[in-house]
Amino acid sequence: MIEQNTENQSTENTETQQEEAIFNESASVESDKEEVSDESSAIETIKKELEEQKDKYLRLYSEFDNYKRRTAKEKIELSQIANKDIVIALLPVLDDCERAQKSIGEASDVTAVKEGLNLVFNKLFKSLESKGLKPLESIGQVFDSELHEAITQIPSPSPELKGKVVDEVEKGYFLNDKLIRFAKVVTGA
């Protein structure tokens, strides 16, 4: 009987050990499931954040692309409007030139034609000046390669004109204080 008791105890011990092992395994499995569940929820959270960042990036990229297109279009429209303003300002001068051309063929008085041409020139100059055009004064000034383009060099008529502009072949112009055309000049040597 003692042997049977020992066997029963031994069987009970074995069963208890097996039950404990099963319990430990199930606890371990549940613990692993919780870890996997925590990891998968972390992965899901990261995936959601990644999708949100991708969406923000695509929206920002699209917005920037639209901005570039809009500014390019505005720039083109602005240059067209600027040209329109200049042309509208010059139309009265064009009308005066056409009248002067007709009167040259019919006129017998040269002084009247000269006066008419001077009036047309002054009107043209005033129209351009109102748009920001200013002539560059060169004659008698020291030669400056930033403003002048030397065509030729001649012996200076006087010692004070040495290294200075003696004659101007083509005027230089500023538009709103920015040089738009160099003056073509003759310098004294």
Q: What is the pLDDT of residues 3-54, one digit of tens each?
A: 555 555 556 666 667 666 666 665 565 666 667 777 888 899 999 999 999 9
The residue whose two tokens read 């006066």 is 115
**Measured distance CA(164)–CA(158) in Å, rounded:** 11
Residues 158 and 76 in one domain: no
Residues 139 and 108 in one domain: no
**CB of 186 closer than 8 Å to CB of 151:** yes
**Measured distance CA(40)–CA(167) in Å, rounded:** 86
Q: What is the pLDDT of residues 141-175, one digit of tens each?
A: 888 888 898 898 888 788 888 888 888 888 898 98
Residue 168, domain extent: 134-189
Residues 84 and 114 in one domain: yes
How many domains are there within the chain?
2
Q: How many helices (H) and strands (E) does the chain have?
A: 2, 6
